[in-house]
Structure 1
Amino acid sequence: MKFTLGLLFCCLVFSCQTPPVEFYETEVGLDEYRLEKGFELQVIAAEPLLKAPVAMDFDAQGRIWVAQMPGYMNDMQGSDEEKPVGSIQILEDLDGDGVADHTKTFLDSLVMPRALAHVYGGLLYAAPPNLWFVEIENDEPTNRVLVDSIYAVEGNPEHQPNGLLLNIDNWIYNAKSNFRYQRKNGVWKKEPTTFRGQWGISSDNFGRLYYNDNSRQLLGDHVLPNRLVRNTYFTPKVGVDQLLTKDQRVYPLHATTVNRGYAKGVLNKDSILLKTTAACSPLVYRGGVFPESYAQNVFVCIPEGNLIKRNILTFTGDSTIAEQAWEGKEFLASTDEGFRPVNLNNGPDGSLYIVDMHRGMIGHHAYLSPYLKEKTKGNRLDTLTDFGRILKVRKIDGAQKPLPDFDALQGIELVGLLAHKNGWVRNRAQHYLVFKEMKHVLEEVQYVAQDTENEWAQIHALRILEAWDELTFELLSEVAEKSKPQAIAHAIVLMESFASTENAKNAERLFIKLLEREEAAIDLYLGSTLGKWMAVDNDRFFEPLMMVVNKHKQNRIVIEAVLSGLDGEEDTFLKSLNTLTSFNESEFGDRLSRIIENRKSGNVNQIFSRKSLAEDNRTAGAKMFYQICASCHGANGQGIDGLAPPLMNSEYVADAKRLALIVLHGLEGPVHVNGELYDMNLAMPGLIRNEDISDKDIADIISYVTNAFSNRPAALKPERIKELREVKSVSGMEYTEEELNGFVK
């Protein structure tokens, strides 16, 4: 990593007036980066302006706001992660050359901030455990509102909600969460949604959501959000949270340091990573400037491989399929092991923006294996801490000009932007029209909603009218009759709020006509809505719903849409279904019966009973280890002379059952570890007599210790811990080494 730093001053050195404003323009060498032909890579901001950035967003003027997490993994123990050293910064380009040269602090003294979004004229941000919203006045926060006090438990950011994506349906979605948020009439709403991914979330032009986890580079929903979870007693299995590609291959330019690199299939013979182990932050490219073949491609961060992957989506109407763009190479890859892309963003200028945390250690201390700890120290990656960059990928001679300040745009100008080729611009224009309630352009928005030449603009307009409560059954019917399938799908969804006996006859006529079009996307959303119309008039809508079922009885996604839409009408539908002698799909009938039984027994979809995300077991175990065990065994499990033997690579740590007995009941007398005798004339007390430590706590400690100090991570269920509480030593107190080994054998 090489860089030069230029320091300029905007006023005279000897001035006794206001202190000088410092301009930093950092030049970072990019020789170690390989980017696909036709594109160029530019450094927009770097250290010292940034330190450990993890997320970014653009404000109304196109400035970049960054959430920074400098307390994350400054050493092997993650010592600073609970310190209030995080911040949200505003990057500025004061000399107008396209590169940030100044930064100002918007919020500081935050503990591990991980997400931010410019919405409703203010800033929504996550600083666990809270989700906050603040208004902005002269780049200062004001009127802070607590949106959610249990947004996330404190701790490991790898497994806490993040993302804050404002979707086309006017809801804000998160990764690693089953809740979505919206503000209407000044009141914040929170409601359940599908649980999605791990770090980062994105949406396509239609409004479907995409996410991933460490080992699966691209997951997603085949349908619009919440269409398959409207029935509290039904849990979809195939329509949401699906693996979109089985191909997890990665193609780094060099051997990289990864966790579990010793395990079979992780590295090849040259120590090159074979499959992703830390994928995050997928982004659907919607900038409208890259070549047409890049439209709605999904880019994925692979920070452990120092690269960014490109996937091509295929839309079938009722599902989405992804495949990697190339075999043997990546869209962007580097031999700089500090390059850690952790977030991607579409920009106002149509470019692709990369948040590069530029940190040596990106895995949380709760998950570090002995192998990775050794490799990290050997490569001195633990010393790479005070860095951070924002990079931009632009098409050579292709980026559009930045737009004017959104706050200064008039309503008619915003309506015109609904047809913009850049999806970021369209989304922002929609949101401004919604939250500023610019109903003086109602007629213009209605016109766009009926303009079949641009279905994306139509959808944006429909969702604006929904937010304004200005939709009508007649307008939606016209859109559904004359438009392309994706706009029709949204119209069908929105028409549900007009289900009534007054509209039943016209709706039936429309639905039958739409079924005759033989379009999978239309049939899918008809299947999801006809159950709601059956509640109004069962006799009228049973037949069209059966048309959907018969046409798609082998299509599990469509069937899930039907079952979700039948919320509360299952008994009525089943009775009507049993009168049909020609229908013999027993699997469908069985699934319907199970929903009815779930309703009777109160067995709900888990998202409706989960109030918040529980802390993952290894992070919880790490906290308890540092509180209870590290004072004797050392933070790195190296042992402390005169107090306790080492845990690192101990044969007792490698066996989860023996370890559980030691943690529960204790160990006394001499003990051999790695062939060496430790005779400290001390006894390690067990935790069994501590009433504040539960079976789950013991299980969490074991999960962490076996992961951190052996190459054989293991886990025991709390039920097994409960059983082992009763497995006493001969003395009824601490085990001896001989007795412990005899038990296991």
Structure 2
Amino acid sequence: MATFKKSTLTLAAVCSGAVFQSHQSHAAEPKVMEPAGSIPMLSVEDSLGTFELPPGYRLEPVLTEPQISEPVVCAFDGNGRMYVAEMRTYMQDADATGEQKPLSRVSLHEDTDGDGRMDKHSVFADGLLLPRLVLPLDDRVLIQETNTLDIFSYRDTDGDGVADEKELFFKGGPRGGNMEHQPSGLIWSMDNWLYTTYSAFRIRYNPGGAPLKEPTAANGGQWGLCQDNQGKPWFVNAGGERGPINFQQPIVYGGFNMNDQFEEGYKEVHPLVGIPDVQGGPKRFRPETQTLNHFTATCGQEIFRGDRLPEELRGDLLFSEPVGRLIRRSKVTVDDGVTKLSNAHPGSEFIRSFDPNFRVVNMVTAPDGCLYLVDMYRGIIQQGNWTKKGSYLRGVINEYGLDKNIGAGRIYRLVHEDFERGPQPKMLDESPAELVAHLEHPNGWWRDTAQKLMILRGDKSIAGALEKQALGSESVFARMHALWTLEGLGVLKAETVRKAMADEDPRVRATAVRTSEWLFKHGDDSLSSDLTKLAGDPDPQVVIQTMMTAKHLKLPEWKATVTAATTANISRGVQEIGRALAGDGGAAQKPASALTKAERASYQRGMKIYQSLCFSCHGEDGYGTVLPEEKNQRLAPPLAASPIVTGHPELAVKVLLHGLSGPVDGKEYPGEMIGMASNGDQWVADVLTYVRNSFGNGSSAISKSQVSGISKSVGKREEPWTEKELFAHSPHALDGCSEWKLSASHGKDSLVHAVDGKLDTRFTTSQSMAPGMWLQVELPETENISGMMLDAAGSKGDYPRGYKVEVSTDGKQWSKPVAEGKGTGPRTEIVFGQEVPARFVRVTQTGKNRLYWSVHQMEIWGR
């Protein structure tokens, strides 16, 4: 546990105004809070007195406990009614007791008298398991629960505010894993596809049939999702301490990031609450104030697209940092085709609170033109895998009594003194022709909802009005939405797109390029030459979109289009994204070792999992994510050349099943590896098959049966391993190889190089492989061994074409073969079926090849 700095500051003093007055302009200083064993739950009125916002802004309550409890998502239907997902079993104590019970719900709330507060309440869907996705359609609402990818449609047919009809909308199948590592943020994007975090695919409403499904790049998002005025989804990563990620271009075209997309110091945060309840431990808070120093739980993002807050806020990216009890506001700029983010309040934050229970987890632009904040209002914000007994967080929770603060929740409206709230919509009662007009609305929520409703109703009689709007509206946004609405209705014409490709605004031209994809996919390639010409457009974003569309459609001329674009346009965005597109011909990444067809399929599945989850801590290159403010510090240990990853399979399997805590190879890391057993044995096998054959690793695949066997042998373990404990209870490379006595049938003089620890030297037979060649090791004493590894990576073809392994305790009486097989690549791993006592180990060549038999490095695995 950390030693907490003492202070006389109490929450009561804050609320009384002795320390801070509400709504000052970023004038407050952070204060250390005493670990008195209890943090009070404040009334809404008292909590409002702890907030700091810029001049003119304030938060006002819309919906609070007892009407809601543990809210995580709010969404509005076409009539402005609010649906709230309530995770009522989330972390009701530090052990997550009862969390997996289906006692959560989605509630429905309505403001019937127009005073801005919800006064009519009902439970729309009850008995749910931690609902995480809510998307109102027309009179249907899509809901997805935890531990499944299935999405159901709920409908209230009798108007009592309670759903009485439930139908499967999308069959995704079961989903395991920690609840923080599952999809969230379901949005109907401007391109008429539905996106979530984690899932490397998008789905599309398909009248009369099952939703369409199309792959995307791994998005890297965790909790929350939004889109901007051009329909680009914005993802934010929490676990990897990244913040916004993959936001350069729509994720369907790839995950693009730039080295300088953040201003210097962007990931540093400035909280007011001095409580070090930080997953990363002491490295993640300032010792003098005990305040969080860096992103660690960013979530709930929203591009503000409303019309009832100051112009300065519109188009900004806002997201929450609930561990820091703050809201970050980011200015979004595009420079030379590159999107960049900066803190709109350098050295401070847009919204901060002294209330330790202020835990915003989602935000949304509302029908009234304001921004709504979903505050879980609770003590613990991390899931139980990070708060187990003995963990750093558990100690902080106990000292401050954070586990006692549960069962509340507030939804706030951000308002400004210079603006009034907008009117409540009645779109569910309007005709498609009336909905067309809403595409002109300055509030993005109105435009999105009108487009969605027109497509759901499928009335193609409005095509003429939409075409007129797409080509003649004074609103850029209306022209873009009209094009997408035509696309969604299936009535988009090539001539309309051709004219839009000549629009004076580059945003419309880029939209025209994107919507043309629908025509190409439906067999109309009449826009091929028009698309090629736009590779020479003067605006970088239009050029980038043209390159991405050509690649996405796999047009025969896509490479030529990219070459032409990067030759004609020297903007940095075109150059960098052009290189990224040209460098990826679309072929799947290949494993380092020779794998069977089934193992290659496992590898590909593991790659998708890694790119959507594991990369955030371990890095795209497998060497660990570098923390920007600490150039020599990585968030998690490297997987490349890791003895745990590439050693005996039992090591890596145990870590993935149960987690790993404490130092690794003598180094401390801010990140913590939690157990992933709940994802299932095949999931674990897939991930390990990928990481053991990537980043320069070339180890054997892991099978589901191997994982199952190791899991059963360990039993019902819950706590993570330490490195010392892991090696004490698992087979690993035996030490003391300098004391081994080696002999061989051929190449005796080079034997020392098999155990000298240098991959650039080797033992070699100096003649072609032939059956009967052997290599023998005599250990100093009898050991229980379970396998061995022969590494020929420096002479890739020199692995044994066939082998058998025999053991002996005296060098005279030899066992039957404890392992037989064929080498399939530079690294030959030989796993015995069971542990065997041995002092002598002999490997005999049973295959033949014109190449030599070589070993650059040899390991024998024991306990």
> 1:420–1:722: structure 2 CA closer, same or farther, 3 Å change rule?
farther
> 1:556–1:361: structure 2 CA closer, same or farther, 3 Å change rule?
same
**Residue 56 in structure 1 maps to residue 82 in structure 2:** no
Match of 1:65 among 83, 107, 112: 83
What is the distance in 1 between the residues matched to 2:410 and 2:339? 33
After TM superposition, the structure 1 stretch with the greater mean CA deviation from structure 2, 354-363 or 250-259, is: 250-259
1:469 Cα offset (Å) = 1.3
User: 2:636: which partner in 1?
Assistant: none
Residues 51 and 353 of structure 2 are in contact (CA less than 8 Å); yes or no, is this contact kept in structure 1? yes
Residues 278 and 303 of structure 1 are in contact (CA less than 8 Å); yes or no, is this contact kept in structure 2? yes
Match of 1:99 among 109, 117, 126: 117
Match of 2:290 among 271, 279, 290: 271
Match of 1:153 among 172, 175, 187: 175
User: 1:462: which partner in 2?
Assistant: 483
Residues 368 and 422 of structure 2 are in contact (CA less than 8 Å); yes or no, is this contact kept in structure 1? yes
After TM superposition, the structure 1 stretch with the greater mean CA deviation from structure 2, 403-412 or 199-208, is: 403-412
Residues 273 and 305 of structure 1 are in contact (CA less than 8 Å); yes or no, is this contact kept in structure 2? yes
Residues 529 and 562 of structure 1 are in contact (CA less than 8 Å); yes or no, is this contact kept in structure 2? no
> 1:655–1:526: structure 2 CA closer, same or farther, 3 Å change rule?
closer
1:195 Cα offset (Å) = 2.3
- Give matches, 1:449-488, under 5 Å: 449-451=470-472, 453-488=474-509
1:555 Cα offset (Å) = 5.0
1:296 Cα offset (Å) = 0.9
SS where residue 226 of structure 1 aligns?
helix
**Residue 550 in structure 1 maps to residue 574 in structure 2:** no
What is the distance in 2 between the residues matched to 1:88 and 1:319? 40
User: 1:321: which partner in 2?
Assistant: 340
User: 1:199: which partner in 2?
Assistant: 223
User: 2:137: which partner in 1?
Assistant: 119
Match of 1:519 among 525, 531, 539: 539
What is the distance in 1 between the residues matched to 2:103 and 2:731? 38
Partner letter of residue 200 of structure 1? G
1:27 Cα offset (Å) = 5.4
**Residue 304 in structure 1 maps to residue 308 in structure 2:** no
Match of 2:468 among 423, 427, 447: 447
What is the distance in 2 between the residues matched to 1:608 and 1:407? 43
Partner letter of residue 414 of structure 1? L
> 1:201–1:716: structure 2 CA closer, same or farther, 3 Å change rule?
farther
- Give matches, 1:571-610, under 5 Å: 592=585
What is the distance in 1 between the residues matched to 2:323 and 2:362? 13
User: 2:25: which partner in 1?
Assistant: none
Match of 2:212 among 189, 192, 204: 189
**Residue 226 in structure 1 maps to residue 252 in structure 2:** yes
Structure 2: which 5+ runs fail to align? 1-10, 16-42, 616-659, 667-704, 735-782, 787-808, 810-834, 837-860
1:69 Cα offset (Å) = 0.8
Residues 152 and 160 of structure 1 are in contact (CA less than 8 Å); yes or no, is this contact kept in structure 2? no
User: 2:618: which partner in 1?
Assistant: none
1:303 Cα offset (Å) = 0.7
**Residue 417 in structure 1 maps to residue 438 in structure 2:** yes
User: 2:55: which partner in 1?
Assistant: 37
Residues 544 and 573 of structure 2 are in contact (CA less than 8 Å); yes or no, is this contact kept in structure 1? no
Residues 702 and 714 of structure 1 are in contact (CA less than 8 Å); yes or no, is this contact kept in structure 2? no
User: 1:250: which partner in 2?
Assistant: 269
After TM superposition, the structure 1 stretch with the greater mean CA deviation from structure 2, 182-191 or 716-725, is: 716-725
**Residue 341 in structure 1 maps to residue 364 in structure 2:** no
Partner letter of residue 326 of structure 1? H
Match of 1:370 among 391, 402, 411: 391
Residues 34 and 332 of structure 1 are in contact (CA less than 8 Å); yes or no, is this contact kept in structure 2? yes
Residues 566 and 578 of structure 2 are in contact (CA less than 8 Å); yes or no, is this contact kept in structure 1? no
1:420 Cα offset (Å) = 0.7
Residues 493 and 525 of structure 1 are in contact (CA less than 8 Å); yes or no, is this contact kept in structure 2? yes
User: 2:373: which partner in 1?
Assistant: 354
1:37 Cα offset (Å) = 1.2
Residues matched between the structures, number: 608
> 1:527–1:172: structure 2 CA closer, same or farther, 3 Å change rule?
same
What is the distance in 2 between the residues matched to 1:380 and 1:434? 50
Q: Deviations over 1:277-330 (max 9, x none)?
A: 211111110012222221110111111111111000002363311111112221
What is the distance in 2 between the residues matched to 1:45 and 1:554? 48
After TM superposition, the structure 1 stretch with the greater mean CA deviation from structure 2, 524-533 or 348-357, is: 524-533
**Residue 162 in structure 1 maps to residue 184 in structure 2:** yes
**Residue 388 in structure 1 maps to residue 405 in structure 2:** no
> 1:615–1:296: structure 2 CA closer, same or farther, 3 Å change rule?
closer
Partner letter of residue 216 of structure 1? R
Partner letter of residue 178 of structure 2? N
SS where residue 243 of structure 2 aligns?
strand
> 1:717–1:614: structure 2 CA closer, same or farther, 3 Å change rule?
farther
> 1:275–1:440: structure 2 CA closer, same or farther, 3 Å change rule?
same
**Residue 284 in structure 1 maps to residue 303 in structure 2:** yes
What is the distance in 2 between the residues matched to 1:70 and 1:276? 26
1:713 Cα offset (Å) = 8.6
What is the distance in 2 between the residues matched to 1:591 and 1:615? 21
Q: TM-score normalized by structure 2?
A: 0.63
Residues 144 and 151 of structure 2 are in contact (CA less than 8 Å); yes or no, is this contact kept in structure 1? yes
What is the distance in 2 between the residues matched to 1:657 and 1:518? 53
State which structure, 1 or 2, has the greater radius of gyration over its C-alpha atoms: 2
SS where residue 221 of structure 1 aligns?
coil
What is the distance in 2 between the residues matched to 1:100 and 1:239? 43
> 1:549–1:337: structure 2 CA closer, same or farther, 3 Å change rule?
same
> 1:615–1:528: structure 2 CA closer, same or farther, 3 Å change rule?
closer
> 1:392–1:692: structure 2 CA closer, same or farther, 3 Å change rule?
same
1:554 Cα offset (Å) = 8.6
Q: TM-score normalized by structure 1?
A: 0.72
What is the distance in 1 between the residues matched to 2:569 and 2:728? 44
Residues 181 and 190 of structure 1 are in contact (CA less than 8 Å); yes or no, is this contact kept in structure 2? yes
User: 2:768: which partner in 1?
Assistant: none
Q: Percent identity?
A: 25
